[in-house]
A and B are shown apart, each in its own frame.
Chain A
């Protein structure tokens, strides 16, 4: 084609100089046009890219000179702009002209202004800083009496406008909604639409005006307002149900041809309008029978009226079908719609066929039989030469897959997969295949083969969850033990044979999967000796194409296999080879292997066979180092400062601004779950028994939170897969240590510090989980809510005592610390030093409280503590609640502990980075009611995900209860749920029975009373009921929200509900720090940032409704400005904050 242009150009050089066809005012612009013409012609005439570049650069430099010359007239400037636009379009940088484009829009007359605005809209983007300079011009033009100027201003506003400057023009644009000219009204509506898109809360107050626009007598204005409505209804359909009638009426009128003729398009009345309306109706009628009934008629009419004459009627039909299937179903309409789909699918026109398939894909979810009707067409489409059609057909098939057809469909998908090159398609398709394979696999061999194909094609581009899921599936197995075994055996066999293929290349991730499986399950093979597997792995290790991450996986696999192997010459070679590796991570792993290899006994303990699902128990505090730390400190070593603190100090010394969001990013970035092995520092946290899991973690497998979907019968409803897993006691060393400790643990003196410590631990967890919100929220709630944290707690306790009783770090600890990279060891040790210090002070502070709390209970608890040591041998880590008040029967704790382990590890890791743990998480004990036999007291535990109310019923001496029950009366604003397994059945004389209830807010409130009753029966069959009530405040449900200033800004703009409040203060200037402190302490707001006389704070209402506060000091007080996504929250919060500040 460029040839043709070229020829035309050379043949008719004067063409564009003289006669510009159509409305162009050629004569006046001739000299300038010719310059542009010259440029265009020049560019077209050139053959090579290089020449073009030269020419354009030349042009640009001459333009640069012209535009910056002060003598340049605006008219010349306008011409220059046009040429600049052209140059930009060709892909050259013309940024020097941006400022001049703005100037031109500012100063020029109409024509120049128009070009100026055009140039601005093409050059700049929404957040470009120069755009601010345009605001004044826009404001001026909006106030102009010249319609064209107003139009231009509105046009530019609807295209690009800086969000923060919206308030400057908003009133002007609102006025324009009443303008007498419809074109102005229309553009004003669209400008508001744009504002709604970028800052919805700023236009919230004008929703009434949108309604007016919807009723505008001009069709154009009405149509424009539909954009806004479509958007708003998409966000919240329930708020606009009352408009359904209006939309239906409008559509009726449109369909009935009541609109002016010039809105017709190929004799179809206003098709765009129709489609817009149909989409709105579809959204409104979704799952809503009553609303849907209103629209059946008009939908029917639309279907009928749309005579198949032109493409555009197909467009309407398509939308109509879509709407019919979206709204509450009506059989007649569905039938007609199905017929319509038939027309699409059977159409010879390829575009329509495509849409037919698309419609089918949508529809089969409701009615799979429709696909049957078009079987043959679908089959044809599968072999269609157009890949897009094929792709859509596969999408359709994906939706109708079941356990019978899965092999065929996956086969087809794989075929397509092998042909496609584009990464996006591959990633997408691979994900789908893996999903189908997991859901519907007919047998093991097929599953493994399919997954092999997925891994080898998808390889390193696919979603990492796929491989993690797969491994999890293998590791956890399903109900049938032999079935599990077969699957694993098959996997191992197939990988071994794959590895035997010469010169085959596999993606890194596939190799990682292979190495994990081989490491775990090669022992299942009878005919294959571990040495041979090791040899294969070693061969892989030596090849050049292996990334260091994969090497780490491979070495981990070898490490697992080594204890099973009889002879280990290869292992020795490997050690030789890689202890000098330049890659720290690989070298680290090799050293681990080396040390383990020297002590086979430890190794066998450390790496038991087939224990990948076992718990990973972690001593987060590194408490076994306590002794060492104390020693060093007493020798005068400097206390450790954590990394970020050091950095901050360094920065403050350097007097440089700290751009890091405080603390937050540092600790969260390290633990997002999928890093290279070197990135994760589990190391010394692994306490002995399941280092395998530790290795797995180290190798960046993210397994938690993944649902188990695959089963023999296809999709398995999510069930407690964990419960069935075997729970085995930890290996000997740990056990001994624990039992030893337990023997010493019988006395009360030891208990008090432990209590304080577990509290500290809890705070850490609280913070940790607030950091990890959204990372693995599911399992985390689980962790915090159930007795799961118990194991963690207890482990800590035992370790602390270990340190206390002066036991040196055992051989186990040595092996543990050798398990992770040296740099991290150092780092973490340091980290923990501070953590320990902190804890030391916390202990000191809380000691009195702890002992006080314990006093009334100690008598009743001692027997239970005694029992503890008995249990220690069977399940050493699994009982004792954090508060030492409730001891769980080992059996219930054991069942739940397995779920917690991996997460515990993560959280524990995170907690090591947290320093600010001064926040109190628990209220004092209050007696709520009592009578002659029992005393009932309660306290609140401010957990991170809920408020936990703990009631304990203490029986007074001399009386025995047969049973005691607690009833909590339902409350309006929150829901309560009992914590399972939290109470002891025994209620002997003088004992305590504890009830725990989780509370979640449903609606914000300020004060509320929670009441309930306790009933008990005495041995002399005398039933008594006692009523009690507890006051709850909103503050019980407020938790700090740790976000960065940047996130704060983003959230701030996205929240719609705000409340402002002024608090009078005598000395406002000095008040800010203290006010912030008050808010932080009393209301639990997190101080995000303080800038001059302004402070930013954030919190969340449980479970996760964020709320932001901006406070600013002014002449006579403090201005508080709340925003939140929840409408009622700002009000309540404002009340609380005011109370807190005034009370202080």
Chain B
């Protein structure tokens, strides 16, 4: 299509300019050499890596499928699993200064085993909220009394299945 042709021409222009400018600065750069020999193949998307020490270029890569269709990469967090949730919960708890890290286990109760009071429990729940990025409402927050329960609750909220 015409739009693809325009885009391809623009890309060719950029590559040629880049090749000219960066060829002056760093001739030993492999990427420059690759870019300095532009071969436009028929409007198919190509990946070029532009890196120069003097100028700042953003790296662009496109996944090419056999059809020549663009495939976008959306940025998102890696999916949660039960193990990662548990690791993060235990990590946050170990960082809390009122908890003894040796005594900490997955099934240890905050009040009975670790000797914390409910103010500390509120602070722990706040830290979990900060870690996982979603708000835990009041009524359910005060029922979470051990790391295992916290892990189950977060897994419920985020639809993480075993």
Q: Tell whether A and B belong to one assembly.
A: no
**A residues neighboring B (CB under 8 Å):** none
**B residues neighboring A (CB under 8 Å):** none
